[in-house]
Amino acid sequence: MRQRNKPWAKDRMNEYPQYLIANPEQHKGKWFEVFEKNQPLHIEIGTGKGRFITGMAKANPDINYIGIELIESIIVCALDKLIEEELPNLKLLNVNAAELEKYFAKGDVDRVYLNFSDPWPKVRHEKRRLTFDSFLRVYENILVDEGEIHFKTDNQGLFEYSLTSFSKYGLLLTYVSLDLHQSDFIGNIMTEYEEKFSNKGSRIYRSEVKYRK
């Protein structure tokens, strides 16, 4: 996601510690403490400007959500949405997904969402793809047993790569759509990228997989 540098982003983030978690390692194993209600936790990795995660939090008050985004200049846009909406079941985290085991214990998370992850098409960048084997291991180590990954993208190459990666890892495929917007799937919440690419005529691929016991 292209974004101009925002030198003021850090200061803005520091102003809202109630929304943007500053010391995530302190909450490892007890994330329920940062929310009003102790209920299942779903995280989105690469949350971007936050349209999906704020929409999900609004639509599902009985689920807690955390939007995780690496880039400060981008996550401040999600922060602005959260300040406006004041959702008690949504927090944001500015960390690298590769390091999630530092901040989450096994079983802290019930579901992982990956939406329009960067495709990194060059073979030498395979390890950066959020559906690469090492990331699948990280997710397994923070998810509950039989935890789920819900993934959508407009990128056919990344989708095919990811289905193979899930399968090689031993994940169970429980849902697949090769054209989400023409399917009977109910309750889809669009991301910023999803709107942009579907307006250009791209079809959207979606899958759900779960870890085996």
The single residue of 118, 133, 145, 179 carrying the catalytic annotation is 118
Binder of ligand SAM out of 98, 105, 144, 189 (CB under 6 A): 98
Q: Which residues pair with 43 in a beta bridge?
A: 66, 112
Residues 52, 189 contacting (CB under 8 angstroms): yes
Per CB under 6 A, 24 contacts ligand SAM: no
Contact range with ligand SAM by CB under 6 A, out of 41-49, 103-111, 141-149, 155-163: 41-49
Q: Tokens 């490892």, residue?
A: 28
Residue 112 found at the interface with ligand SAM (CB under 6 A): no
- 99 known member of a binding site: no
193 belongs to the binding site for ligand SAM (CB under 6 A): yes
DSSP 8-state secondary structure symbol assigned to residue 132 = S
Least distance (Å) from ligand SAM to the CB of residue 107? 21
Rounded CA separation 162/165 (Å): 5
Element (H, E) at 114: strand 109-115
Smaller CB separation from ligand SAM, 27 or 51: 51
Q: Which residues contact 137 (CB under 8 A, 6 or more apart)?
A: none
By the rule CB under 6 A, 143 interacts with ligand SAM: no
Catalytic residue check, 118: yes
96 annotated ligand-binding residue: yes
- Tokens standing for residue 45: 């990795």
Residues between 116 and 135 that touch ligand SAM (CB under 6 A): 116-118
Asked whether the CA dihedral 39, 44, 49, 55 is positive or negative, the reply is negative
Give me the active site residues, please.
Answer: 118
**Site residues for ligand SAM per CB under 6 A:** 1, 45-48, 68-71, 74, 96-98, 115-118, 191-194
